[in-house]
Amino acid sequence: MDKDLITFFELHLPLKLDEIKIDSTREWGSMTVVEMIDHLVVGFEISLKDEEREILVPAHKLERAQAFLESDLPMPRNFAKPEQYNAVSLHSQDIEAAKNRLLLKARDMMDFFLLNRNYSAVHPHFGRLNPKQWLLMHRKHIQHHFSQFSVIV
């Protein structure tokens, strides 16, 4: 697996997550800090389930959508949230519980992808993704939401 991605999830994610506090100021969007962290956990869970999902991007645009994952371009603000995110709802009672759940789920996801290198699952906006592409998507997603609270990863 890509060394930069492993470093991101094992080193940068915990360090930057620690910078996020319950009273961190939201720069944009509508989620609270705890809702944002729970939202990221749901994203990890979705990537670990190869369920039937509709691909919302036309087939002729999928290659470009997947290339975006490899780019340094950020996700745009107010990016359309896939419907699957509404199907699973977490309601962490406090920020520390949410942070711990995120880090545990990130570890579970990394372990799963390392053991299942041929795994793939559909993302509604990016099509069928392999483990590396899922990790690229999650890194971009984490950077997107951490930036809501002025934490740059």
The whole-number pLDDT of residue 139 equals: 98
pTM as predicted: 0.93
What is the second-level CATH architecture of the domain 3-76+83-148?
A: Up-down Bundle (1.20)
Q: Give the contacts of 70 (CB within 8 A, at least 6 positions apart).
A: 136
Whether the pLDDT of residue 70 is over 80: the answer is yes
The whole-number pLDDT of residue 91 equals: 74
Identify the band that residue 17 occupies on the pLDDT scale cut at 50, 70 and 90: very high
**126 touches 82 (CB < 8 A):** no
* 45 or 82: which leads in pLDDT: 45
**85 touches 43 (CB < 8 A):** yes
- Residue 34 one-letter amino acid: V
Identify the band that residue 90 occupies on the pLDDT scale cut at 50, 70 and 90: low
Maximum separation of any 2 CA atoms in the chain, in Å: 43
The whole-number pLDDT of residue 82 equals: 67
